[in-house]
Structure 1
Amino acid sequence: MIFRAFTLILSLAFPVFVQAKPVPVIFDTDITGDVDDVLALAMLHSLADRGHVDLLAVTISKENELAAPFVDAVNTFYGRPDIPIGVGENLPHRDSKYLQLVKEKDGDSFRYPHDIGVSKEPEKAVPLIQRILEEAEDGSVAIIQVGLATNLAQLLRTEGGKGLVQKKVDHLSVMAGAFETIDGNNHYLEANVKNHIESMQVLAEEWPDDVPAIWSGFLVGKSVRYPRESVALDFDYVDHHIVKEAYLLHSGPEHDRPCWDLTSVLYSVYPDRGYFDFSMPGRVSVEDDGFTRFHRSIGNNWEGKQIENPAQALKRDRYLVVDEAQAARVKEALVQLVVQPPRGMEPKSDKAIKVIFDTDMGNDTDDALALAMLHTLQSRGKVEMLAITSTKDEPRSVPYLDAFNTFYGRPDIPLGAVRDGANPEMRDFLKYVDDYPHDLKDGADAEDAVTLLRKTLSGQPDGSVTIIQVGFSTNLARLIETEGDEHSPMNGMSLVKAKVSQLVLMAGAFQTINFNNHYREYNVTKDLEATKALAAKWPTKAVWSGFEIGIAVTYPWQSIDEDFELWDRHILKDSYIAYAPEIPHDRPTWDLTAVLHAVYPDRGYFTLSDSGRVEITPNGQTWFHMPGKKHLNSPKATRDQFMIMDEIQAARVREALAQLASEPAPQ
């Protein structure tokens, strides 16, 4: 059983992760109510696209004739039109603005196609749950209940229902109740309970003692709110998005909606990833007014009425708890999973940031993780990769880039190779280039990097290009020294000034590193003369991600171990393990942080320093000068900023990087 395996894992002294398998899920929802049910269903589809969920059925616990058609429309939008849908009986009615979306038409066709309510009818919820459970492996199914308990209460009261649950269900993840004081009220009556008290009493009293139940209370979801900024900006990869339109109809554009139901989904699928802490074991009871009381286990007894089988019953229930850092991380995970496009959907790109990625691919594996991020962001319509140039003068660096891009379904991104570069050293992970399809066989066959940079920039609108440099400064230092050519009459300095909006680079160190105030960072020192020239002459705004940022945010090994299993082999996973074969190994994310800021500069992932000017000393130290230094002339004195990150931001950044780098390739 998944939950029991998790319990065993927690007892170990170091992380040992069970190979990820899709979690079979029955999703029981009152989707006529708050819009968090819609967000949670979208999240389940994203998790299914990642290979982590097998969505067996959706059952509905509120009465509205449009509820089942709406669920069918969401499932169809995400490419799963055949998921069984069941509607409960004797349910309270609920009106809903967003359910009206199933009636919307573009011409003669439904905007959001669906069959239920058009050519077929939904099943009845309880018989559907019974059928799904009977067909499932013993102890395998997670039931996620995020609405009223009517369907599960009826199931438990059906002949053989409780025994079926006991045999087939791994755990129940339920959004209901309140286990902390809410706004000064220590007797808070939560909606999923008080709107049908009797059924929640049945669930709390009759759910099998040996099937764990994890309760996500009101305060957890209230602590994690879905940001309106994401609703406004993150669903534009398609003209009409059913989740975005539902959110706006329910909550409007100025509201950050609590993520109650999403937290139950996140726990159920990822119980061992540290998103939440837990209460001690105990037992939930529901009082006649709808108040949920948690009774802690005390020895072989508990704070409540006498129960059968106390040894088992005392351990059945726990509730979720989050601290501030966990809440930031949970919020980020929920957002990244909800906005993930349906796999295979071709995104709109009219608002994409035009990016040139300049990398020393072949040194550390963070370059590969950063490139995976860029592919994800292009699949979301956020980025258009114009070109990728390498500053690593190793014959397989650019062929590896070609193989990587081909794996991610973009084999035609222009690639450029450095000539006479500073670092020809071979790294183990480049050896995998021959295991994956690609056209370029040697870096010598690729276009010269500086020539490609000039050609690419000359074809773009003024002020439109973001350059992300995560390796040495060789290519960019040479670019600004070029003369006019067949691509543009402008010299390199003028061309960059005209076409580039900003440079975001991973280089330098702006804090003390291991008690060293004069740390000489690798990307700076490996081609020191080029870095000095870049810092002295670069003409546009530049944001620096220092060594201290990436080392404070490590990529979680558990993601490498579990998040790339849709393929027999994955070029990123192969590369990560080849570079860092000691297992488990959480690798610093230096290059990924530059990508994250370049694409999302206004999302609060990082704080920026005051404006000033970076100077590279003759021995490779990075100095940051505030305006007013006599040897620095305005406006160049305010060209640069460096990134700063506190602990809460770090928790959020780490989650964003892991979710973006591990999103499935659009194959």
Structure 2
Amino acid sequence: MAPTPILFVTDIGRDIDDTVALLALSTYEKEGKVKLVGVIATGGVGEDRARLTRFWLRRLGYGDGDVPVAACLANGKDVCLMPEANPGVPTVEEANLFRGSSPERAAPELCLALADMYKGRLEVIVIGPMSAIGDAVRSDEDAARMQRGVAKMHIQGQATVGADGRLAPDFIAFNLGENRESSTLAFDKLQDHMPFHLLGKHAAYRVTLTPGDFKKFDDAADSNILQDQAEKGLASFRLNMPEIFYRLYPVPEDQRGDDQWYKTLSYVSHPYDPTLTIATQCPSLFTPIKVDHPNGKGSHLLIGMKNEGNCEVPDETLVHKEILRTVQEAGKVMAMAMATEAASEPIPFLFVTDIGRDIDDTVALLALAAYEREGKIKLVGVVATGGAGVQRARLTRYWLRRLGYRDEDVPVAACLADGKPVCLLPDGVPSEEDACLFRGESEGRAAAELCLALADLHQGRLNVLVIGPASALGEAVSKEGDAERLRRGIARMHIQGQATVGAEGRLEPDFAAFNLSENKEAATVVFDKLQDHMPFVLLGKHAAYRVTLTREDFMAWDVAAGTNTITEQANKGLAAFRKDMPDVFYRVYPVPEDKRGDDVWFKTLTYISHPYDPLLTVAANHNDLFQPVRVPNPKLPGSAKEHLLIGMKNEGDCQVPDAEAAHAEICRVVKDSSKRMASIEMEAMKQAMKKKKSGHP
């Protein structure tokens, strides 16, 4: 079962509870139950809370590209307690925050982007004020996006039930009372479309975290950071509101000195936020009051709305035990992460491919996967295009699974634009229903919507590797508003194909290149709408002709993979070419006439491909192997923004000074991925044998 995507809305830094909740949630992700896909830091001083969020995410091993964090700039409490640590809390500039179209719109735009990305599956955990959610549903159009995208709302706070069965926020709850208008708006616009799960203060009061618990957390993390943060939060409370503090924390008067009071506490917190987090993943620990949803969308669940009986927490010791377990596990992860030197942040890549037409796209994908394992890039999405889009998307999922990618980590969308119908499928390719494809608002828009969603999520960092027709990108830039989203989101375009340089220094697609000619209109609009806003890197056929992949190369990869799938797919692709266009085939592959029989022609080949697509993949990650022609971008000054052209003309070394080094790099990375596939398949066989021996089906 795929992990549940979670958007986490928090006022982290006001007290220790939000931090503990985040640690618990990270353990559930490690266990495969959830996937944290975004965080909104809210409740006043949003940028400080966003910086603090990034600090904790990094300590937990999340890459900045894995979890976008947006600061909500709405008013609220100005207290945000920062830990003293090394490395410390990053600055706003260093925290890689999600920016959106403007700082004020970043938080609601992240909500909307995630709702679009995870349509009907996104769950939102709200342990802070609802300011960003209110902004995200303010217009009817945006509200509809949230209504389609969000499956459940989990809210820390109380609600009352009206005569008509509708919920109303109880503003006694701090989070709901901080921005009453947003709370009211969120309840009004969303509750008719999804179930709300609320956990109130009376449930939290059933559970207690002690100073000893926080020591256990820190022992697991090999630090004292959580105890320090808990003490800081309470010290601020004690300093500013001493009468209320000592009423809640009955410390004897003779032990209220600065160096004594914390050690005397019988408890640190009643964990509102962690208990809600536990309730989302361990519902059996609670007996919620069910309120039938008026529109048949399941039931609203209410825990701890009133101080009656056990407040829907039948055994608080089990909840306490689960909080301890999950936070201690997160502490162990932090200890390991801090013991390992942090690698540089991987670059997010969107891969646009007509995989299945020939073997080159598959080899490029294997190369890209190897670069991800080396920490250079992160594959964040794939668009399968070039005709027969669904088949190509299924084939993509087949290879991704063999490479060890989980379906939820890499969304794959099928572009339904026209193109070549040939898509060669090996045995074992999943059906359309089993391939977990990205659907979007409609099948016809899925590919364009994935491009836009990824641009929104990885603003200013997304790289796009285009080794197929530009149909989906053309559709994604067809509206000016959408084009602007891509301009904000994409850092660099890598395109397999040629271009010419016009009189004004602007690039024009060369339709002698197959990928660009397959959808000339799309290629033209992509070049027109995007090149003034980002550098283009193009690698053309003349560079590819400098490098040759032989049958021996393919066989070596299959030996490493423990299969013959790669060579078989290369054979199938060339066989289709040989059958459909024999004259052209034998001109390109000069096989002697007496060796053109069905069982001998492939064995006679001196080479299988000039690797257009793999070479572009290498150029995107190992640019020192190339000497591109640099074209100043008229709209973007500076050498870092220059367009780079490799192999546009058949002149000299075609910007590939050492073809053998380029060949060796392709062979290295593809062999690495082949070994990875063998390891995964061996482990799967071992697990199957264990199940068989244990008698499990």
Report the TM-score, using the length of structure 2 for normalisation: 0.39
Greater fraction helix: 2
Report the TM-score, using the length of structure 1 for normalisation: 0.41
